[in-house]
Structure 1
Amino acid sequence: MGQVPLFTLAGFLLLYPGILVAAPAEDVRLSVRERFWHITDLHLDATYHLADDPAKVCLSSKGAPAIKAGIYGDFLCDSPYSLIQSAFAHMSHVTPQTDFIIWTGDSPPHVPAGELSTDMVIQLISNMSETIRDHFPRLPVFPALGNHDYWPQDQMPSSTNAIYQAAAKLWAPWLQAEALHTLREGGFYSQLARPGLRVVSLNTILYYGPDKATANASDPAGQYQWLQGTLERAAQNLEKVFIIAHVPVGYLPFTRGITAVRKHHNERLVSIFRKYSHVIQGHFYGHTHRDSLMVLLDEEGKPLNSIFVSPAVTPIKSVTEPYSNNPAFRMCFYDASDFTLLDIWQYYLNLTEANERQRADWRREYVMTEAFGLEDLQPQSLLQLALSFKLPQANSFDKYFSHFMVSYDDRIRCEKDCKLSQVCAVLHLDHKAYSECVRGRSVQDSFALL
């Protein structure tokens, strides 16, 4: 039999990444490359329509004129249903055979509280759940609640309520009895995704700054106690864990000195995640609408965990923001033998082009290992990447920031204090280390439109 051409074999492995791949000669262990989808921040705006008055295209623009609105949306609006449908249609077309989907929250749009109600929020979560089920009827889905998945937004309580109960009912086809019980009581749960791999879905809205309902609670809904108990049992059972949630841990990369959750909750979460880093194989968040990563380090700077914040499906931005994001979702690859993270394929829609052509041509924006020359997405690999961001002669940070905006506008540069905020947020999740990283610099953002 003739020799198989290398390009043919490589193409075959890309098309069928679950195929057995031989390890290096010194390691005879075989690994199986498996995958799952990560989607977040759908933010359906059911009012979106092409109107003669650009100020009335969508409620989510809050009166700002959406002068470039098209059938797939506008950068001043949340997602029309056509955009969300096109995203799931492309996902199912690319590959219907993945292990599972993680969905990190936020179905309702960014509109004033008076435009919504508890019943409307439940209906929006229901609509998005059914849309996912329609496209992936046999695929397990692991959702997390977002800050907009409540009414009024952000105000999630520490006890059972209509939203938690509705979510448990809507997600019953995906979750088991034990997971549904804690979901009904506190908006969080854990469940085995496959033998040896547990998904822990946290309700980080309980720790979110704007949540007045939990402002004075030291352990809202008892989630800390539950989390530590869950991670301890996972360790005893030799399970590995993927942490998923809406609002991420750590510092926001596009500002200075602000954590995504309240600072004391951030410190507590960082402490727990450090303690159980040998159990946790990855973190997956949403909320910021941007594409970013973090490396959880211990107190001596040793890399412990890889953390990924996925960009949003919604393209919305305010009129004062210098940039937005193109709609996006991603596929994550992991080694089924030990659940280590191997790669991310990021998909996006060029919204301007899609509206001009009236066709949603979703395509791959980048493959993370190829884009940055990485072997895998293990903490040591991400640490080396993050350290390269500091080098003035390296172009890795410019590429990272372009991906941060999901290729929104490659002319925009993030320099000086802007870059410092980004890099410090990637490398340092706790107050002490982050403060030392940014010490001595002003709080002025430095965006340069070339």
Structure 2
Amino acid sequence: MYIIFILCLFGQACIFQVYSIPVHIGMKHLKSAAKFWHISDLHLDPTYHVTEDHTKVCFSSKGVPAQDPGVFGDFLCDSPYQLILSAFSYMKQADLQPDVIANMTLTIQQFFPQLPVYPALGNHDYWPQDQLPTSPNAIYEAAAKLWSPWLNPEAVATVQKGGFYSMLVKPGLRLVSLNTNLYYSPNEVTVNMSDPVGQFQWLQEALELSRQNKEKVFVIAHVPIGYLPFAMNTTAIRESYNEQLVKIFRNYSDVVQGKPVNSIFVTPAVTPIKSLSEPFSNNPSLRAYLYQPDTFALLDILQFYLNLTEANLERRSEWKLEYIMTEAFSIADLQPNSLHQLALRLEQSQSKDFDKYFNHFMVSYNSSITCEGLCKIVQRPHTLSRDPSLGFCLLRLSAEEVMSLEPEFEEAHISIRDALKGLM
């Protein structure tokens, strides 16, 4: 059985959309490929409005003055509805015929009324934020009711129970939607629980059934396993849960010893995400994947973006193709071995590929911003599935390199002594 992980990061939920006809872009994969959209982090802020008092533009800035608010948003605010509408309008106008799409239910029903929906809960889908519960509640019940037109009765029942489900997309391909918000580090409800809502046991049973039926599986979820950029020494999911999920996925993957066998894709956000302590943000982004229709193997990524500054100045949205992954990084496809070779290139000290990666990580926010020193140390390891703790990373550096980074560690409120603690 082959498992593909498609995960959404920090936000309202994700959109999964499958296509069956080509777009008119010159790429080697297009003639035989099918496509799907993967959209994340809509983060609707219904309070957003342009006003002279920039501290009152949006509730999501938490009192911090918006920088340059316009009709399509501000880098310090979550998405206004106009930004979300422009994203869906662009998707609808694209030269593609969709088969499957998921979440932000009412808006999607407006733009794609005939399509089935496969939702995934996000950490902003519950209040208090991040504290998704381990028992049936009003939010799970409401989600199940909203999504019931697209889910079978068994899936509706597990959404009501814990916000997760499994559905057969087409013969030979199953989609599993996990509620990984239960494992999210800020979720205090699930502290010290071994298997919140019994989702681990349910997942093993679902994957075992797929193995018996010779199905390939797409796993969608919101909070990803593994380490994130700038996460220092902690996983987004609590380490014990992270280890359990990795163990389950390993047991149900086609493992060849010593070879990369799987990959995780974390899609950039529709909403801009920025804090005053960081120089970078991201432009709004939409991502489309190409895959082999008979094997469901991922082939390529087409990433589209909206230059938020230009859109606000011109008061109109013009979404553009940002990059095609195989062309941008000179790889054959999105298979694990190709991605592993790219990750090794990103690890090199002088890597033009890394500079290109970081610009796309920011979704072409500002090409003059570079990632060096400590920034590069904490960015690079998350591309590979190994322990990215700063301590282990520093042990690979020379003494001169370590000492040269001391000012950056002080600025980041972490000392080299702390980073190396317990490793000598």
TM range (shorter): 0.7 to 0.9
Deviations 1:268-312 (A, max 9, x none): 11111122123xxxxxxxxxxxxxxxxxx98x6521112100011
Aligned pair 1:353/2:329, yes or no? no
Q: Residue 66 and residue 155 in structure 1: after superposition, are their counterparts in 2 closer, same or farther (change >3 A)?
A: same
RMSD: 2.5
Aligned position for 1:15: 24
Deviations 1:408-445 (A, max 9, x none): 1111111233222222111025x499974554566956
Deviations 1:169-188 (A, max 9, x none): 11112211111111110110
Q: Residue 260 and residue 427 in structure 1: after superposition, are their counterparts in 2 closer, same or farther (change >3 A)?
A: same
Q: Residue 256 and residue 273 in structure 1: after superposition, are their counterparts in 2 closer, same or farther (change >3 A)?
A: same
Aligned position for 2:76: 76
Aligned position for 2:184: 208
**How far has the Cα of 1:102 moved from its partner?**
4.8
Aligned pair 1:151/2:127, yes or no? yes
**How far has the Cα of 1:20 moved from its partner?**
10
Q: What TM-score results when the alignment is normalised by the length of structure 2? A: 0.85
Aligned pair 1:318/2:271, yes or no? no
- Equivalent residue runs for 1:280-429 within 5 Å: 301-429=258-386
Same amino acid, percent of matched pairs: 57
Are the counterparts in 2 of residues 96 and 136 from structure 1 also a CA contact under 8 Å?
no
Deviations 1:242-269 (A, max 9, x none): 1110001101112311201101111111
Aligned counterparts of 1:378 and 1:20: Cα–Cα separation in 2: 13
Aligned counterparts of 1:239 and 1:196: Cα–Cα separation in 2: 4
Aligned counterparts of 1:436 and 1:227: Cα–Cα separation in 2: 32
Aligned counterparts of 1:156 and 1:411: Cα–Cα separation in 2: 39
Are the counterparts in 1 of residues 378 and 390 from structure 2 also a CA contact under 8 Å?
no
Aligned counterparts of 1:66 and 1:369: Cα–Cα separation in 2: 37
Give SS of 1:75's match.
coil
Aligned pair 1:250/2:259, yes or no? no
Aligned counterparts of 2:392 and 2:88: Cα–Cα separation in 1: 43
Q: Residue 39 and residue 21 in structure 1: after superposition, are their counterparts in 2 closer, same or farther (change >3 A)?
A: closer
Are the counterparts in 2 of residues 37 and 102 from structure 1 also a CA contact under 8 Å?
no
Aligned position for 2:162: 186
Q: Residue 247 and residue 433 in structure 1: after superposition, are their counterparts in 2 closer, same or farther (change >3 A)?
A: same
Give SS of 2:265's match.
strand
Aligned counterparts of 2:339 and 2:263: Cα–Cα separation in 1: 7
Give SS of 2:313's match.
helix
With 385-394 and 322-331 compared, the bigger mean Cα shift is at 385-394
**How far has the Cα of 1:396 moved from its partner?**
0.6
Q: What TM-score results when the alignment is normalised by the length of structure 1? A: 0.80
Q: What are the ranges of 5 or more consecutive residues in structure 1 without an aligned counterpart?
A: 1-11, 23-31, 104-127, 279-296
Aligned counterparts of 2:265 and 2:29: Cα–Cα separation in 1: 26
**How far has the Cα of 1:322 moved from its partner?**
2.1
Aligned length: 383
Aligned counterparts of 1:248 and 1:392: Cα–Cα separation in 2: 27
**How far has the Cα of 1:366 moved from its partner?**
0.7
Aligned counterparts of 1:330 and 1:199: Cα–Cα separation in 2: 19
Aligned counterparts of 1:393 and 1:387: Cα–Cα separation in 2: 12
Give SS of 1:180's match.
helix
Q: Residue 421 and residue 436 in structure 1: after superposition, are their counterparts in 2 closer, same or farther (change >3 A)?
A: same
One-letter identity of the residue aligned with 2:76? L
Q: What are the ranges of 5 or more consecutive residues in structure 2 without an aligned counterpart?
A: 1-20, 412-424
**How far has the Cα of 1:318 moved from its partner?**
2.0
Give SS of 1:413's match.
coil
Are the counterparts in 1 of residues 151 and 167 from structure 2 also a CA contact under 8 Å?
yes
- Equivalent residue runs for 1:13-162 within 5 Å: 14-15=23-24, 32-103=32-103, 128-162=104-138
